[in-house]
């Protein structure tokens, strides 16, 4: 359950990993340094507005482009708890799950939520509520193995637990 | 049961009796390719989790490529972490600067890509290796760490889409134009999670290198992989490069595809993708009329930085000069290609055309270094992505095209259809 999460809404398809973290910053894998440049090419003010516990909402094909996990680390480092999009690019989705960052597929979220609205996400019931407007949306259940990996706090812990 | 080439490879590597699209499997990995951006993070993760081991040092192939020769102190640190890991685990196949190359160009060149195998790399363009009939897919650093330690990775068996190409390519049209047209039709998420299988007489007629340009860009349609069945050309390509044994795997004639798309390749014209998506394609002729002037032309990358690409560019550039006001940068994708281009005299042509020739690097392809664009600049590039800010400033523009279109455009200083230059 995620409560009182402030939304940053991008009414756009195909937000790519070059926009989430431009290549010039890939010379580090330090999460804090990456977080200083999260979303820089799409929303230069993002890092000044984002607060720990916030979420991002976008339209189709979020995270397309390169396989850089730095995109996930920059968002997680900036305090983002979940990304809600209509669909996710494949490698981004894996990276997100593998790092324990929630990636939720939900149609229409970007149309029913405005930047600054407060959101509640209930993983058990599969519902997203915009507590600012009262509107509720349903999302596709997150696959069990993905929830298991998230519960283990990432793929490597999951593998270790399975092997011992 | 009839299966596609992708399903057969995944079945074989998962030890299952059969696999069906949508099924989650654990597959054995034959080759892990590693470079300087995503691998150091994987190495650190393994250390943090006290599993600093590699499943088989012979199956890990390493080359630094993205920020090499190191562009700054931080990238030097990354390359150092990679190098230290290589020696700690006795990884023999390490292509250090001087023998290095863009990872997806060097892997097949050095005979590490075999038909019927599984290949992963912390890089989205790993799908390139499907040109030789391998199942190859890009992953992130955590998946990379998991595969380095265990030699296995989970996958969802993808549905396959068949692209059937018939017809002879016109003069001035290349495999880059084919894939740009396919992505235009299906969109940048038109094959999300899917395997794109390319076949038909047009594909048969292409060289292995030209096929790689097509599979390289499967990810630009969101695909898990792009794949082409091996044939005699594949066998010939491998002959001089490896003595390893491999199995030729092909799709069954009655395999099930999610859909089949037909193309008459003779109708394809020289094509350019305009900013900011690889799917925004237009005929080069139409753009030529718009007088789109170019600050930079870039010929290189894992898409179009191989010897055939350089030969095509040289053929057009021979005896001409790059237009004043336009910079031409040419980057052979591997050391081997660099040497070959030098031996064939291509560098003389490029030098006379006022091109800057660089050592192999990803460099400007990802806006890293050696050709980064300033605010407001425009570049025509033979690479694979024209996203916002991909090659530099967020307000710079990238157009994508074949090496022929790039060379003709460099001479004219604006986007130009190459047909009359051939
Ligand atoms: S050449 Fe460009 S697309 Fe290819 S691996 Fe390097 S950065 Fe990626």
**Which among A142, A163, A152, A26 has a CA at the least distance from the CA of A100?**
A152
Arithmetic mean of pLDDT, A110-115: 97
Q: What percent of chain A has pLDDT over 90?
A: 80
Task: Give the Cβ contact number of residue B168 at 10 Å.
Answer: 11
Q: Which residue of A has its CA nearest to B369?
A: A24
Closest partner CB to A69 (pick from B72, B141, B189): B141
Residues with CB under 6 A from ligand 1: B 66, 102-104, 123, 125, 301-302, 362, 365-366, 383-384
Arithmetic mean of pLDDT, B358-364: 97
Arithmetic mean of pLDDT, B252-270: 98
CB < 8 Å to B145, chain A: 155-156
Spatial CB neighbours of B229, under 8 Å, sequence gap ≥ 6: B5, B133, B197, B199, B249, B250, B251
Closest partner CB to B142 (pick from A99, A145, A160): A99
CA distance B142 to chain A (A): 6
Per-residue pLDDT, A164: 61
The answer to whether B190 contacts chain A (CB < 8 Å) is no
CB < 8 Å to B192, chain A: 61, 87, 89-90
CB B133 within 8 A of CB B195: no
Protein residue with its CA nearest to atom 4 in ligand 1: B302
**Given an 8 Å threshold on Cβ–Cβ distance, is A26 in contact with B367?**
no
The two beta strands, B225-227 and B259-264, are unpaired
b/e for A95-125, b at 16 or more Cβ within 10 A?
A: bbbbbbbbbbbbeebbebbeeebbbebebee
**Given an 8 Å threshold on Cβ–Cβ distance, is B74 in contact with A27?**
yes
CB B122 within 8 A of CB B20: no
Q: Domain residues of chain B, as ranges?
A: 5-263, 282-416
Please report which confidence band the pLDDT of residue A1 belongs to, taking 50, 70 and 90 as the band edges: confident
Q: Which residue of B has its CA nearest to A145?
A: B24
CA–CA distance, A17 with B208 (Å, rounded to integer): 30
Q: What percent of chain B has pLDDT over 70?
A: 100
Please report which confidence band the pLDDT of residue A159 belongs to, taking 50, 70 and 90 as the band edges: confident
Q: Which residue of B has its CA nearest to A144?
A: B24
**Which among B147, B127, B304, B96 has a CA at the least distance from the CA of B213?**
B304
CB < 8 Å to A65, chain B: 124, 385, 387
CA–CA distance, B9 with B25 (Å, rounded to integer): 12
CB < 8 Å to B193, chain A: 90
Closest partner CB to B142 (pick from A18, A90, A156): A156
**Given an 8 Å threshold on Cβ–Cβ distance, is B389 in contact with A156?**
no
What is the CATH number that goes with domain B5-263? 3.30.499.10
Arithmetic mean of pLDDT, A26-38: 96
pTM (2 d.p.): 0.96
The two beta strands, B397-400 and B378-381, are parallel
pLDDT > 80? residue A163: no
Arithmetic mean of pLDDT, B64-86: 97
Per-residue pLDDT, A114: 97
DSSP, residue by residue, A94-129: HHHHHTT-EEEE-TTHHHH--TT-EEEEETTTTEEE
Per-residue pLDDT, A144: 83
CB B227 within 8 A of CB B5: yes
CA–CA distance, A31 with A41 (Å, rounded to integer): 18
The average confidence (pLDDT) of chain B is: 97
Q: CATH top-level class for B282-416?
A: alpha beta
Spatial CB neighbours of A144, under 8 Å, sequence gap ≥ 6: none
The two beta strands, B118-121 and B259-264, are unpaired
Please report which confidence band the pLDDT of residue A150 belongs to, taking 50, 70 and 90 as the band edges: confident
Arithmetic mean of pLDDT, B385-395: 96
The answer to whether A30 contacts chain B (CB < 8 Å) is no
Structure tokens at A48: 């000044």
The average confidence (pLDDT) of chain A is: 94
Arithmetic mean of pLDDT, B396-404: 98
pLDDT > 70? residue B279: yes
CB B327 within 8 A of CB B354: no
Q: Which of B383, B389, B392, B403 to mutate to test the pocket of ligand 1 (most atoms within 8 A of CB)?
A: B383
The answer to whether B43 contacts chain A (CB < 8 Å) is no
Arithmetic mean of pLDDT, B198-221: 98
CA–CA distance, B108 with B96 (Å, rounded to integer): 17
**Given an 8 Å threshold on Cβ–Cβ distance, is B143 in contact with A95?**
yes
- Report how far Cα B153 is from the mean position of its chain's Cα atoms: 22
Q: Please tell me the distance between residue A52's alpha carbon and the centre of ligand 1 in angstroms.
A: 33
Per-residue pLDDT, A162: 76
pLDDT digits (tens, 9 = 90+) for B101-149: 999 999 999 999 999 999 999 999 999 999 999 999 999 999 999 999 9
Per-window interface: B 358-417 vs A, CB < 8 A: 366-368, 372, 385, 387-390, 394
Interface mutation target, options B22, B41, B44, B140, chain A, most CBs of A under 10 Å: B140
**Which among B386, B416, B65, B126 has a CA at the least distance from the CA of B271?**
B416
3-state secondary structure chain B: CCCCHHHHHHHHHHCCCCCCCCCEEEEECCEEEECCCCHHHHHHHHHHCCCCCCCCHHHEEECCCCCCCCCCHHHHHHHHHHHHHHHHCCCCCECCCCCCECHHHHHHHCCCCCCCCEEEECCHHHHHHHHHCCEEEECCHHHHHHHHHHCEEEEECCCEEEEEEECCCCCCCCHHHHHHHHHHHHCCCCCCCCEEEEECHHHHHCCHHHHHHHHHHHHHHCCCEEECCCCHHHHHHHHCCCCCCCCCCCCCCCCCCCEEEEEEHHHCCCEEECCCCCCCEEEHHHHHHCCCECCEEEEEHHHHCCHHHHHHHHHHHCCCCCCCCCEEEEECCEHHHHHHHHHCCHHHHHHHCCEEECCCCCHHHHCCCCCCECCCCEEEECCCCCCCCCCECCCCEEEECCHHHHHHHHHHCECCCCHHHC
Structure tokens at B343: 């031996």
ipTM beyond cut 0.95: no
**Given an 8 Å threshold on Cβ–Cβ distance, is B41 in contact with A155?**
no
pLDDT > 90? residue A113: yes
**Which among B351, B345, B349, B298 has a CA at the least distance from the CA of B326?**
B298
Side-chain-facing half-sphere of A65: CA atoms under 13 Å: 26
Interface mutation target, options A23, A160, A161, chain B, most CBs of B under 10 Å: A23
CB < 8 Å to A22, chain B: 367, 389, 394
CA–CA distance, B263 with B231 (Å, rounded to integer): 21
pLDDT digits (tens, 9 = 90+) for B147-191: 999 999 999 999 999 999 999 999 999 999 999 999 999 999 999
Per-residue pLDDT, B379: 98
pLDDT digits (tens, 9 = 90+) for A45-101: 999 999 999 999 999 999 999 999 999 999 999 999 999 999 999 999 999 999 989
Q: Is B301 left (phi over 0), alpha (psi -120 to 50) or beta?
A: left
Equal fold, B5-263 vs B282-416: yes
Arithmetic mean of pLDDT, A140-148: 84
Per-window interface: B 50-109 vs A, CB < 8 A: 51, 66-67, 71-72, 74-75, 78
């Amino acid at each position: 359950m995620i409560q009182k999460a402030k939304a940053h809404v991008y009414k756009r398809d195909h937000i790519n990993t070059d926009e989430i973290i431009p290549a010039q910053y890939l010379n580090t894998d330090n999460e804090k340094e990456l977080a200083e440049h999260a979303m820089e090419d799409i929303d230069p003010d993002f890092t000044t507005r984002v607060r720990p516990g916030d979420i991002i909402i976008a339209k189709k094909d979020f995270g397309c482009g390169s396989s850089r996990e730095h995109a996930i680390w920059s968002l997680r480092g900036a305090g983002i708890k979940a990304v809600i999009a209509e669909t996710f690019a494949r490698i981004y989705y894996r990276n997100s799950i593998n790092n324990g960052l929630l990636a939720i597929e939900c149609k229409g979220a970007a149309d029913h939520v405005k930047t600054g609205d407060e959101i509640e996400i209930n993983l058990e019931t599969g519902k997203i509520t915009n507590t600012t407007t009262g509107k509720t949306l349903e999302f596709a259940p997150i696959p069990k193995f993905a929830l298991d990996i998230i519960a283990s706090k990432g793929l490597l812990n999951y593998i270790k637990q399975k092997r011992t | 049961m009839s299966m596609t080439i992708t399903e057969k490879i995944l079945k074989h590597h998962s030890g299952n009796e059969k696999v069906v699209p949508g099924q989650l499997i654990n597959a054995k990995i034959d080759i892990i390719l590693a470079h300087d951006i995503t691998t150091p993070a994987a190495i650190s993760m393994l250390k943090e989790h006290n599993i600093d081991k590699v499943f088989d040092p012979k199956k890990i192939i390493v080359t630094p490529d993205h920020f090499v020769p190191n562009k700054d102190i931080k990238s030097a640190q990354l390359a150092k972490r990679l190098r230290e890991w290589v020696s700690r685990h006795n990884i023999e196949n390490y292509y250090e600067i001087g023998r290095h190359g863009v990872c997806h160009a060097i892997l097949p060149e050095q005979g590490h890509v075999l038909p019927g195998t599984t290949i992963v790399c912390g890089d989205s363009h790993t799908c390139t290796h499907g040109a030789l009939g391998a199942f190859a897919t890009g992953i992130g650093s955590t998946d990379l760490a998991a595969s380095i330690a265990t030699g296995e990775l989970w996958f969802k068996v993808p549905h396959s889409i068949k692209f059937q190409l018939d017809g002879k390519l016109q003069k001035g049209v290349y495999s880059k134009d084919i894939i740009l047209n396919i992505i235009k039709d299906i969109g940048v998420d038109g094959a999300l999670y899917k395997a794109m299988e390319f076949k038909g007489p047009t594909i048969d007629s292409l060289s292995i290198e030209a096929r790689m340009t097509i599979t390289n860009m499967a990810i630009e349609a969101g695909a898990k992989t792009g794949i082409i069945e091996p044939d005699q050309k594949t066998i010939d390509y491998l002959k001089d490069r490896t003595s390893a044994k491999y199995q030729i795997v092909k799709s069954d004639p009655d395999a099930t595809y999610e859909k089949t798309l037909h193309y008459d390749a003779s109708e394809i014209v020289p094509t350019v993708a305009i900013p900011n998506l690889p799917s925004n394609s237009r005929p080069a002729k139409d753009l030529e009329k718009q007088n789109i002037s170019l600050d930079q032309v870039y010929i290189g990358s894992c898409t179009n930085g191989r010897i055939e690409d350089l030969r095509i560019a040289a053929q057009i550039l021979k005896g001409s000069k790059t237009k004043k006001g336009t910079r031409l940068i040419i980057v052979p994708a591997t050391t081997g290609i660099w040497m070959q281009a030098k031996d064939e005299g291509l560098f003389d042509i490029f030098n006379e055309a006022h091109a800057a020739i660089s050592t192999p690097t990803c460099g400007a392809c990802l806006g890293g270094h050696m050709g980064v664009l300033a605010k407001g600049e425009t570049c025509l590039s033979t690479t694979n992505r024209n996203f916002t800010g991909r090659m530099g400033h967020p307000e710079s523009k990238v157009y994508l095209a074949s090496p022929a279109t790039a060379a003709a455009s460099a001479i004219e200083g604006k986007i130009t259809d190459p047909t009359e230059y051939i």
